[in-house]
Amino acid sequence: MTNTLHRTGDADSFKDDYIVFAIASRGKNDEGALEKLQKFLRMAIPFSPVNLGDARNGGSLRPSKDMGPSAHWNRDISPDFEAVVEGFTHITTAAAVFDNRVAAEDFFKAVKEADMGLSVNISTSVDGAEQCCHHAGVPRHSVGYSLGFEGKTELLPNSHVLLLSTMCGHGMVANSLAKKMIDWVKEGRRTPEEAASYLQRFCSCGVYNPSRAKRILEDARGTTK
């Protein structure tokens, strides 16, 4: 799962995008991992994440399988972090998404002190992750660089669309929906926050960053690149 690695943007565009995630390795440290992963997610809540993720069941804003008609006028777009923690029923990747470095640093430091034995990764700019590690007094173990998209790039859409759609590395956020949301924000049919919430619901592992999406949509309102 490279679901967070290949987000497009330069280093500065990740200033509000920090994903700290925990994962157990089968046969190595998966015994008792379910409780530890739940603990990891619960520990994140006081640090004000913008999303929490369960790779199997989704994030803090999910689609409804039985939506009532009134939701078209008063849909709830507030995240439900407790539901993510309580619904974490399988050993899979647990992720906490932050929109500022200080929160990510402090959370990571707390995770280090909890010493759960799970692999913990930080996905953001190279420098941002280094700073988080430095803050916690941890030397980086390994690093996986994203080299960006290559090949038949003429098949890709414009950069604002890509900035939005690549925040779901599994490709569940369609380029066409991202483009539609940019258009709707331009037309004034939805606020950037509402448009970001539609995109967020499609991310099935909860790593979508609605705060960054809102900023990108605001940026795209005036001039789509």
Interface positions, 7-66, toward another protein (CB under 8 A): 7, 9-11, 14, 23-32, 55-56, 63-66
Shortest Å distance, C-beta 213 to another protein = 14
Q: Can you tell me which of 118, 185, 213, 217 binds another protein, judged by CB under 8 A?
A: 118
Q: Which residues contact 168 (CB under 8 A, 6 or more apart)?
A: 3, 199, 202, 203, 204, 207, 208
DSSP state at residue 91: S
**Six token digits for residue 19:** 């994903």
Q: Can you tell me which of 44, 96, 97, 116 binds another protein, judged by CB under 8 A?
A: 116
Q: Can you tell me which of 150, 188, 222, 223 binds another protein, judged by CB under 8 A?
A: 150
Element (H, E) at 97: strand 94-98
First to last CA, the chain: 29
Kindly indicate which of the ranges 41-49, 70-78, 80-88, 211-219 contains the residues binding another protein, using the contact rule CB under 8 A: 70-78
Residue with tokens 């972090």: 81
| Residue length of the chain | 225
Q: Can you tell me which of 38, 51, 60, 125 binds another protein, judged by CB under 8 A?
A: 125
Q: Can you tell me which of 74, 78, 151, 188 binds another protein, judged by CB under 8 A?
A: 151
Edge to edge, the sheet with strand 94-98 lists: 18-23, 94-98, 51-54
- The interface mask with another protein, positions 169-198, x = CB under 8 A, is xxxxxxxxx--xx--x----x--------x
